[in-house]
Structure 1
Amino acid sequence: MTYSFIVNKHIMVFQQHHGLASEGDVIGEIGALCCMPQPVIARSKSISEVLRINRSCFLNVIRGNTSDGQIVIYNLFEHLEGFKSLSLLFPKKIESLMSNFGINAPSNLCMATLKGNFALVERLLKSGRDPNEVDSSGRTSLHIASANGLLDCVVILLHYGADPNIEDENGNVPLWEAVRDRHKYIAETLLESGAHLTSRNEGEFMCKAAELGSIGILEDLLKYGCDINSKSIDGATALHIAVAAENVEITRFLIEQGARIDMYDTKASTPYVLDI
Structure 2
Amino acid sequence: MQNEAADDIYIIVSGEVEMIDYESNQREIVVGSLQAGDMFGEVAAICSTPQAFTFRTKTLAQLLRLKTSNLIEAMKIRQEDNIVMVNNFLLHEAASRGHEECVVVLLNHGCNVLLQDVNGNTALWDAITSKHYKIFQLLYNYATISDPHVAGDLLTTATERNEIEVIKDMLQCGLNPDSKNIHGLRALQVSLATNHLEVAKLLIAHGAKTSDLNGHTFSSIFTAGDLCVLHNKVQKINPGYKEVNLVNRQNDQFCARINLYKGHPIISNTFDRNATGRLIKLPSSFEELKRIAGQKFEVNADNITIVNEEGAEIDSIQVIRDNDKLYVLENEIS
TM-score (norm 2): 0.41
Q: Indicate the structure with greater helix content.
A: 1
Bigger Rg, structure 1 or 2: 2
